[in-house]
Amino acid sequence: MDFQIETHPLLGGVPHGFLGSAGGAHQFGFGGPGDEADVRALRAAAAAAILPGGRLAAPHQVHSPDVVVVDKIWGDAAQGRPVADAVVTAKPGIVLGIVTADCAPILLADSTAGVIGAAHAGWRGAVGGVLENTIAAMERLGARRSAIAAVIGPTIAQASYEVDAAFRAQFDATANRFFAPAPEREGIVRWYFDLPGHIVAKLTDAGIAEIADIGRNTFSDVAHYHSYRRSAKVGEGNYGRQISMIALP
């Protein structure tokens, strides 16, 4: 299939990719539009494009801080997958996958130790500790956090992420730098939230030195990415997901 795959040199030598919508042709989430069997086949083909012969391990995501250590493959179906928002492994042949539609996918690797991870971090996950938990799980498999590289994939950019006072109240004062003033509407004070910046700070505070952001805005780049917020703005009843994958060679 003609997948739209973007990679980053920081993860060079580790099979990985951030897969977009290919102009809306590809929808990778079981919760999105399309037949389950078609979505399963597309996900399997994408995993094979990242690592020939590789098999996908993607959790049922719920905006949690929970991490699953993958030592064997489970069935890729809408129901019955482990519930978590990050996956880690030290086993070759397993393709870790995370689906997103504005939240940030983060791919991580200690290529020397042979340990990889994939995390789904919206604001809830980032505040709740999914990134710190992913790094800790990788360490338990033998990774060193000083050797872990992390790349943030397509996510909603600050200029597109308008929030209200109730949203901002979920954060403590140390996060003030991630909020920029937005125009008032109907007398309501609003802000723009920098989700990628917040994630970079979380990773840095966790001891990760090598961090990159591919800088793709899911909301504004209609041709390449699905977006929950964009779909809601135009009144679509459902929305698609992109997928991000990483594997050990």
Say how far apart CA 54 and CA 31 lie, in whole Å.
Answer: 23
Helices vs strands, H then E, count in the chain: 6, 14
Does residue 230 surpass a pLDDT of 80?
yes
More confident residue, 21 or 235: 21
- CA dihedral for 21, 237, 29, 210, sign (positive or negative): positive
pLDDT over 90 for what percent of the chain? 94
pLDDT over 70 for what percent of the chain? 100
Gyration radius of the chain over CA positions: 17
Does residue 123 surpass a pLDDT of 80?
yes
**Adjacency order of strands within the sheet including 210-213:** 67-69, 86-89, 115-121, 104-110, 149-152, 210-213
Does residue 84 surpass a pLDDT of 90?
yes
- CA dihedral for 206, 175, 68, 78, sign (positive or negative): negative
pLDDT in tens, 53-69: 999 999 999 999 999 99
- Domains, in order of start, for the chain: 5-157+212-247 (3.60.140.10)
Angle (deg, nearest 10), helices 195-205 and 130-140: 40
pLDDT computed for residue 185 by the predictor: 83
Say how far apart CA 216 and CA 206 lie, in whole Å.
Answer: 24
pLDDT in tens, 173-201: 999 999 999 998 888 899 999 999 999 99
Distances (CA, A) of 123 to 13, 68, 78, 126, 147: 30, 20, 24, 5, 25
